[in-house]
Amino acid sequence: MAKKLTSEDLRQIADRGMNRETVEKQLLNFSHGFPPIKLVAAATSKYGIQQIPPKRIDELIELYTYYSSNHRIVKFVPASGAASRMFKHLFEFRSLYRGTSENQLDFLRDKGPDSVYYFFENIQDFPFFQTLLDALENRGLDFETIMEESRYEKILNTLLTEKGLNYGSLPKALIPFHDYHGEIRTAYAEHLVEGAHYAKSGNHNCLVHFTSLPQNVDLMKEHFAELKKAYEAKYNVTYDVSYSIQHPSTDVIAVDEENNPLRDENGKLIFRPGGHGALLKNLTEIDADLIIIKNIDNVCHDRCKEDTYKFKQLLAGKLISYQEQIFAFLNGLDHSTQPSMKVIDSIWAFVEHKLRVIPPEGSENWKKDQKIEYLRTKLNRPIRVCGMVENEGEPGGGPFWVKNTDGTTSLQIVEASQIDRNNPEQEAILQNSTHFNPVDIVCSERNYKGGKFDLTSFTDPVTGFISQKSLDGKIIKAQELPGLWNGSMANWNTVFVEVPLSTFNPVKIINDLLRSEHKEHN
């Protein structure tokens, strides 16, 4: 049993904008764990994931084009990730490599596309290569000589540390991703370009919001200042860029293996970021009619962007078409004291077959008032349309049919860590999944009266996750809040649409920039 919190602990908790009940609930979660998700089936293109015919695609894009001209659109980019993860294999190599032939054999034997060998073999193809050459020269180092002598650590010191470019300490948003005949674009810049093509509001305003770590906001602002004038002229938009950070109130207390709160050398409680689920607070504070969510590292070269532009607008059009119908149903219920069973049956069919919310067993015996209340509850909530791509082994959550606590069955995005892998039936459902979640989401927080939903009312708090981490060489337990596109959106209306794999081009490690979709030529 975890030790009790002291009065000094409670003062520290209050200073972070948290309350005692929240922290005590986190401690209970560590002790009791989280129940696994109850999968019913994998969502597939035959059952749960919509495939939109070409003619309908054009209609939905036209619908979004008209809508965006008189509504507020915001592109929301979770960009808090540190670039150090992209360079993890290079950091590990740098810490151990000593330049001996024996070490070379050990570290450079693997020649696969994710290897250190592959990085150095293709180093001249990275968009930052010329910048790296300049940085080496500033240090009095010659690239050709270094390569001939196999002094790879000198290149990595220049690339990753404060001795040179310091990429290992930058946010992923500011790493050079693509080369356009000498114009080098960062991931941040690519999102500005994308926004100009599919996230414009009226008067050609392009609103983009980046989440960030506190220490990186000024760096991003400086980068934007360098780009603003040229990009606005080139893409005929006026950018309105904003930032937010994960608030300390969304952090989670850290504990040891016996679930006792961890403390620093001064006796203060140690808190850790609560995962991307903490960004629900950031999302709530966005003022928009429609929000387009896409991860910072999921961008590609201009040569490959057409599908991205097309299908982002398709997803937005799909959301608008559903939202218009939902709002019409709710307004109709408001203005009809006694809707007919024909009207109720029509709404029921929409909820079940379009929104894919399967009613609880026995609902056919409900009285009329019960049915109306149920329909109101299921219609009057936030909505998201999620692009899904065919699974080709990429990591990430997947689309599933899930049994909910209220007896309904609905579509959810589920991480493998939420599934009971020891249950043969659940494992079989996981293995039969055909698609995965690339975090390609269009959503709306507006209700049918024009106000904003309280998004915290639509989360599933029991969908968190506990993992083991290392702190100063000791094993600790960390807890993540319900994921932003998992448990934090569990009680949203959710629609899955199939999108092509060409719209998913993540850069998880720096070697990914050597893939064809990140280069000017195949």
Co-location of 227 and 308 in the same domain: yes
Co-location of 296 and 201 in the same domain: yes
SS3 state at 185: strand
CATH number at residue 189: 3.90.550.10
Q: Is residue 327 domain-resident?
A: no
User: What's the number of CA atoms in the CB half-sphere (13 Å) around residue 127?
Assistant: 25
Co-location of 50 and 144 in the same domain: no
Name the CA radius of gyration of the chain, rounded.
Answer: 25
DSSP 355: S
Of the three residues 169, 187, 208, the one that is the final residue of a domain is 169
At residue 4, the pLDDT reads 78
Which amino acid is present at 374?
A: Y
Q: Is residue 514 domain-resident?
A: yes
Of the three residues 169, 191, 224, the one that is the final residue of a domain is 169
Co-location of 307 and 187 in the same domain: yes
Query: Quick check: 514 and 126 in contact, CB under 8 A?
Result: yes
Co-location of 127 and 203 in the same domain: no
Q: Is residue 413 domain-resident?
A: no
Length of the chain measured in residues: 522
Query: Quick check: 311 and 60 in contact, CB under 8 A?
Result: no
At residue 1, the pLDDT reads 44
Query: Quick check: 307 and 289 in contact, CB under 8 A?
Result: no
At residue 5, the pLDDT reads 87
Query: Quick check: 185 and 178 in contact, CB under 8 A?
Result: yes
Query: Quick check: 220 and 212 in contact, CB under 8 A?
Result: yes
Cα gap 452→454, rounded to integer Å: 7
Co-location of 57 and 99 in the same domain: no
Co-location of 123 and 253 in the same domain: no
- Domain span including residue 186: 7-82+171-320+435-518
Of the three residues 169, 197, 215, the one that is the final residue of a domain is 169
- Cα-based distances in Å from 302 to 17, 299, 315: 43, 9, 20
SS3 state at 49: strand
Co-location of 163 and 209 in the same domain: no
Cα gap 248→273, rounded to integer Å: 8
| The two structure tokens encoding residue 496 | 């899955």
The per-residue b/e assignment along 336-369, b for 16 or more CB within 10 angstroms, e otherwise, is eeebeeebbeebbebbbeebbbbbeeeeeeeeee
- Hey, what's the torsion of the CAs at 186, 189, 193, 199, to 10 degrees? 120
Cα gap 213→286, rounded to integer Å: 18
Q: Where are the beta strands (DSSP E) in 92-151?
A: none
User: What's the number of CA atoms in the CB half-sphere (13 Å) around residue 274?
Assistant: 27
Query: Quick check: 154 and 141 in contact, CB under 8 A?
Result: yes
Query: Quick check: 163 and 139 in contact, CB under 8 A?
Result: yes
Would you call 310 exposed, middle or buried from its count of C-beta atoms within 10 A (0-12, 13-18, 19+)?
A: middle
pLDDT tens for the 522 residues of the chain, in order:
456 789 999 999 999 999 999 999 999 999 988 999 999 999 999 999 999 999 999 999 999 999 999 999 999 999 988 889 899 999 999 988 877 666 565 667 888 999 999 999 999 999 999 999 999 999 999 999 999 988 999 999 999 999 999 999 999 999 999 999 999 999 999 999 999 999 999 999 999 999 998 999 999 999 999 999 999 999 999 999 999 998 888 899 999 989 999 999 899 999 988 888 889 999 999 999 999 999 999 999 999 999 999 999 999 999 999 999 999 999 999 998 889 999 999 999 999 999 999 999 999 999 999 999 999 999 999 999 999 999 876 556 799 999 999 999 999 999 888 899 999 999 999 998 999 999 999 999 999 999 999 999 999 988 888 888 877 778 889 888 888 999 999 999 999 999 999 999 999 999 999 999 999 876
Co-location of 78 and 142 in the same domain: no
